[in-house]
Amino acid sequence: MTSVTLSSKFQLSIPKAVREELHLQTGQKFAVITKGDIISLVPIPDLAQMRGIAKGADTSNYRDRTDRLERYE
């Protein structure tokens, strides 16, 4: 397990081995998620990385607003 120390400016440095393993870049943004005493840093992908993420998705069983409206009529 790799450990880091919180600086006097409340900053953490991500160890080089972790940066290389996850291919992290300078300026990359992260979502900070807390649950109890656990802090998770989740990389936020940029728009270019999200392109094509749903390619090949099956839309045959897609539900939309009309499905919900029919149920309540």
For 13-70, the pLDDT digits (tens) are 999 999 999 999 999 999 999 999 999 999 888 777 767 777 777 777 777 766 666 5
CB atoms within 10 A of CB 28: 13
- Residue 72 within any structural domain of the chain: no
- Residue 27 within any structural domain of the chain: yes
Round to whole Å and give the CA distance between 46 and 20.
19
* pLDDT at 67 (0 to 100): 65
Domain that holds residue 28: 12-44
* pLDDT at 18 (0 to 100): 92
* pLDDT at 24 (0 to 100): 92
Q: Which of 24, 42, 22, 23 is nearest to 32 (CA)?
A: 42
pLDDT at 71 over 60: no
DSSP secondary structure code for residue 61 in this structure: T
- Residue 1 within any structural domain of the chain: no
Those residues with Cβ within 8 angstroms of residue 17's Cβ, 6 or more apart along the chain or in another chain: 2
CB 42 within 8 A of CB 30: yes
- Residue 49 within any structural domain of the chain: no
Q: Answer with the residue of higher pLDDT: 71 or 54.
A: 54
* pLDDT at 13 (0 to 100): 93
Token reading at 59? 């839309």
